[in-house]
Amino acid sequence: NAGVTQTPKFQVLKTGQSMTLQCAQDMNHEYMSWYRQDPGMGLRLIHYSVGAGITDQGEVPNGYNVSRSTTEDFPLRLLSAAPSQTSVYFCASSYWGGNTEAFFGQGTRLTVV
């Protein structure tokens, strides 16, 4: 059981480049989300999805796009990377309902130069 898989693990981008961070889960979870972790800031929610075809913005959505065409995948797109997007990105998934917890991927360390 792979759980939540994020690719790539590390990435360096130049300002203005675009890229997609991949996230896949094999637990048939309805809920998926993306967080960014910056030093001294904890984790902050970027976007989330409560099911295929449904997405919504979190606390810090600017500069990021998401889509959810399947239950398993929830990619995060940076359309025009900026140095302020240098961060560690975590994808998470969970079942609906209170008796569960979020499972996190291993993280993607992104540097924008």
Partner 1 sequence: AQKVTQAQTEISVVEKEDVTLDCVYETRDTTYYLFWYKQPPSGELVFLIRRNSFDEQNEISGRYSWNFQKSTSSFNFTITASQVVDSAVYFCALSEGYSGGGADGLTFGKGTHLIIQP
Contacting residues toward partner 1, per CB under 8 A: 29, 31-33, 35, 40-45, 48, 50, 58, 88, 90, 92-104, 106-107
- Which one, 85 or 94, has the nearer CB to partner 1? 94
Q: Are 90 and 48 in contact (CB under 8 A)?
A: no
Residues 6+ apart with CB under 8 A from 75: 20, 21, 22, 23, 66, 67
- Which one, 3 or 17, has the nearer CB to partner 1? 3
Pull the structure tokens for residue 96. 């609906």
What's the closest the beta carbon of residue 69 comes to partner 1, in angstroms? Answer: 17
- Which one, 81 or 89, has the nearer CB to partner 1? 89
What's the closest the beta carbon of residue 89 comes to partner 1, in angstroms? Answer: 12
Dist. CA 41–CA 106, nearest whole Å: 18
